[in-house]
Structure 1
Amino acid sequence: NLGLIEESKISRSLPWRPPTNVFRVKEDVRPIFWANRPKSYISRTLGWDQYPHGRWGDSRNPSYGALTDYQFTRPRGRGKKLQEEWAVPVKSVEDINERFMNFCQGKLTSSPWSELDGLQPETKIIDDQLVKINQKGFLTINSQPAVNGERSDSTSVGWGGPGGYVYQKAYLEFFCSKEKLDQLIEKSKAFPSLTYIAVNKDGESFSNIPTNAVNAVTWGVFPGKEIVQPTVVDSASFMVWKDEAFEIWSKGWACLFPEGDSSREILDKVQKSYFLVSLVDNDYINGDLFAAFKEI
């Protein structure tokens, strides 16, 4: 992209950028967790004999490649941008919340949890709500708004070519303290359409769905085709992803500070004590994912 074409105007064949690898040409289903880290996902699934096509469950291969330094290496330009934007002294949890808020407000163009530049177009639909929950200490690293039958050529949420309609369940993924998690779980009881998985670095987990559950969170209806469902929330994959997500606190952010810096201590404390939460509102027509956060 030389800047001649606005990237958001380019028609996407899938919600995520398909790989150029000839062996993955039929791949059309992925877990949502790596949405902002596609290179990492590709590197961790290189050894698969076949890639999910049509349904995640049809050819699911649970053996993800191990985490290596490769997943945390960055192009020089991105490393420089992260250094500029995230190597700001962290004196409190509030400072951490502020970094995440600034990213949601578009004041920062980089995030340790993303290989992409800035917010994705669809995120801008909900960025006001994202700012509010980040302010409360729910630190978002992935999200999508609910979509009910938008045209597939929509510049913000469209994909899959002309003449179709696309759908999404609202999705949020974030880090939060155990105290905040307990409050959210209690509040979510009043919202039966919400499903969640929460896990900490050590693997302690809470969930209101079966351990092997797979939930399609993006799908499209196109002329002359079966329904396409390219993005899923898969419980088993989430437990693989969580190791990577937690590792980024140290290898993606804390590493930007010198050894012994007090900022590292605070980030380390958060890494060891917070939970990573995947939250879906299954009511994509009348749901309100953010309502559960209002009184917290």
Structure 2
Amino acid sequence: MKLKQKLENRSRPFYTFEFFPPKTDQGFSNLLGRIERMAVFNPLAISVTWGASGSTKDRSLELAGLTQAEYGIETILHLTCTNTEGGMIDEALKGAKAHGIQNILALRGDPPRGAEYWIPTDPRFVHAKDLVAYIRSEPEYAEQFCVGVAGYPDGHPDHDVDEETELENLKAKVDAGADYIVTQLFYDVDGFLDWVKKVRAKGIQVPIIPGIMPIQSYASFLRVTKLCGTRIPSEIIAALDPIKHDDQKIKDYGIKLCINMIRRLYQEGHIQGYHFCTLNLEKSVRKVLEGLQWIGDGQKPAENKLIAESEEEREQAVNGESTLIITPHDATVSAMSSLAGKAPSEAGSVGRGELNHAATWDEFPNGRFGDFKSPAYGLQDLWDASSGLGVKPEQARAQWGYPKSVEDLTNFFLSYLHSKDGTTPFSSGPLFAETQMIIPHLEKLTKRGWWTVGSQPTVDAAPSEDEVVGWGPRGGYVFQKAFVEFFADPEDLQWLKNVVNKRGGGKVSFLAANVEGEYESNLEDDATNAVTWGIFPGQEVAQPTIIERENFLAWKDEAFGIWGAWAQIYPPDSAERKVLDHVRKTRWLVSVIHHDYKDTDALWTFLLQD
């Protein structure tokens, strides 16, 4: 059934869930199990995102088709139209139709590249309204699809226009034939309610479904809100700052915040429908719906009482009372005996208790160093936000200049280490405080021509409250093995392999891959390296950072894609394009781990030896 029909004459709250296609096969398989469990919450629909320029086309169609066929839930397929090759849009629409999908969310995608990017794209699609109009004008698609479009309560992150112009753009999409609006995520409820009034004043009467994203971790919150240009009310910043190193507290606060936001939207804005950006995670959405009493035994509309959010109440709710005391010695012994993955053996398996439950084994976003088996592994950018380089071409050129040689690139990465440049294509912000501890070592590697893009120092039982390296609940201890990741020439990789064999002593591991898919390592294919872990009162060992073959190779694809995207902001025959393309084609991405986390200089002494 088309979503437009399901939205008609609804008298109770409803919600939709958004998922993205995972980067790995096991993540994809485990996501299907997650969707099956979340289907019992009776969402009105499930939506599946579409990678920039159709980069996840096959996986998106496969996932949307399975959710439509296997779980009997209406599926909304996101479709971005810019920067696509000729024929891709028709191919996607025909594929959706073949899978029985009747709902499309029509998005622009990344800023149209066109002439500035010097690459060919389908000229028919420059804006989302072009895609809406195309679907409505083609007899094969006009009656097949219900079409939604995006709304931006905080303004479009890539549009340097005033609010009035942005509202006119939204009206143009609706006038082209859109049936409903799903908004980008937001946290300013007052601003959203004012925006809705302005939308209605424009004569736009189609349903508006607000996008809601529970905060899953501080890092993912900062990254996503920056990409989306989201306004963050000062009271939220004030609440997050004292707990930013404890992801569980952040997550619990995010649940309460979403409950309060939805209750206000329901009561003050009379808004019935909500679109949950799940980030492929399950627990927070479930707890929000339970808090609203929209699922479970006491299903009913939102009540008037808001969840209290005082610091004292958060401490009581999140921490509880615990008298368990641990020491650095206990933590080290526990870590040595307990470093093992906690993933279910199969998508639908459920162990005993919360810790091993299939719904909760991966409660947090899994970035490039996460568990590749997680449905949330390799968190992708949200729809219609900048991807690839994460900034506009003119901004990229202004920030990163015009490198014309390998020497220029070495100086560029050195400049970043010296805090002269705030970002690189591989780092969206300045260096972390803990990285300052190893700057002299990274500088020496970079001068050698090994451009570092990831690293961390050793940490041996530092208190979890430590302002530089601490994380997690209070009263715990955190640990890190030193590792460094860099791009190097084939000759340098050969040198590294030789010294690992001769002088590694079994304490040094490396992984290396190039753009062609060649892979080398002294690790077994199924080996798992936890390079960051923590021991906390009353909890099992937490392992937020893992380096293993599968997640390294997935990151490798993204890393070399960044070199390609960087090259494309310069003309094809330019010295900049040539040197960046040469680097992408010839260099290897290398990650080196030293397992002696009690010797702060072990990794650097090993790498910087003659």
Please, which moves more after superposition, 194-203 or 285-294? 285-294
Quote how far apart the aligned CAs of 1:57 are.
Answer: 6.7
Partner residue in 2 for 1:237: 551
SS at match of 1:99: helix
Change (3 A) 1:153 1:26: farther
1:198 corresponds to 2:512: yes
Report the TM-score, using the length of structure 1 for normalisation.
Answer: 0.78
> Measured at CA, do residues 65 and 57 of structure 1 come closer, stay the same or move farther in structure 2, by a change above 3 Å?
closer
**Does 1 or 2 have the higher relative contact order (CA < 8 Å, sep 6+)?**
1
Q: Flag as ranges the 4+ runs of structure 1 deviating above 4 A.
A: 7-10, 17-23, 53-70
Q: Secondary structure at the match of 1:71?
A: coil
Q: Deviations over 1:141-194 (max 9, x none)?
A: 111111001111111111002111100011111110001111122222312311
Q: How many residues align?
A: 269
CA distance 1:288–1:180, shift in 2 (3 Å): same
Structure 2 counterpart of 1:12: 245
How much does 1:256 deviate? 3.0
Report the CA distance between 1:85 and its aligned residue.
Answer: 2.6
Q: Pick from 262, 274, 281: which aligns with 1:24?
A: 281
2:528 maps to 214
Question: Which residue of 541, 562, 567 corresponds with 1:227?
Answer: 541
C-alpha distance in structure 1 between counterparts of 2:478 and 2:400, whole Å? 35
Amino acid corresponding to residue 71 of structure 1 in structure 2: S
Aligned mates of 2:455, 2:461 — CA distance in 1:
19
TM-score w.r.t. the length of structure 2 is 0.40
Distance 1:51 1:112, change over 3 A: farther
Match of 1:271 in 2: 584
Distance 1:58 1:111 in 2: 25
- Answer whether contact 2:462 2:470 (CA < 8 A) is retained: yes
| Contact 2:371 2:377 (C-alpha < 8 Å) held by counterparts | no
Q: Which residue of the partner structure matches residue 492 of structure 2?
A: 180
Instruction: Give the partner amino acid of 1:72.
Output: G
- Between the aligned partners of 1:184 and 1:9, the Cα distance in structure 2 is 42
Tell me the C-alpha RMSD between the 2 structures: 3.6
1:96 maps to what in 2? Answer: 409
1:74 aligns with 2:390: yes
Alpha carbons 1:62, 1:237 under 8 Å: kept: no
Q: Is residue 602 of structure 2 the alignment partner of residue 288 of structure 1?
A: yes
**What SS is found at the alignment partner of 2:449?**
coil
| CA deviation string 1:76-98 (max 9, x = no partner) | 5xx655322312232x2121111
Aligned pair in 2 of structure 1 residues 275, 183: CA closer, same or farther (>3 Å)? Answer: same
- Are 2:127 and 1:127 aligned? no
Q: How does 1:12-161 map to 2 (within 5 A)?
A: 12-14=245-247, 24=281, 52=362, 60=374, 71-72=387-388, 74-76=390-392, 81-90=395-404, 92-115=405-428, 117-161=429-473
SS at match of 1:231: strand
Shifted more, 208-217 versus 59-68: the winner is 59-68
Structure 1, unmatched stretches of 5+, are: 28-48
Residue in 2 that maps onto 1:166? 478
C-alpha distance in 2 between matches for 1:58 and 1:261: 38
Structure-2 change in CA distance of 1:266 and 1:9 (3 Å): farther
Write the distance in 1 (CA, Å) between the matches of 2:451 and 2:532: 23
In structure 2, runs of 5+ residues without a counterpart are 1-231, 255-276, 285-358
**1:197-252: CA deviation from partner (whole Å, max 9, x where unpaired):** 1011111121000112211111111112111111101211211211110111120x
1:40 — aligned with what?
Answer: none
Query: Structure 1 residues 62 and 82, CA, compared in 2 at 3 Å: closer, same or farther?
Result: closer
Q: Aligned-pair distance for 1:292?
A: 2.5
Looking at secondary structure, tell me which structure has more helix per residue.
2
Distance 1:261 1:57, change over 3 A: closer
**Does structure 2 conserve the Cα–Cα contact (< 8 Å) formed by 1:218 and 1:231?**
yes
CA distance in 2, matches of 1:8, 1:156: 14
Say whether the 8 Å CA contact 2:534–2:542 is kept in structure 1: yes
Is the Cα–Cα contact under 8 Å of residues 11 and 158 in structure 1 kept in the other structure?
no
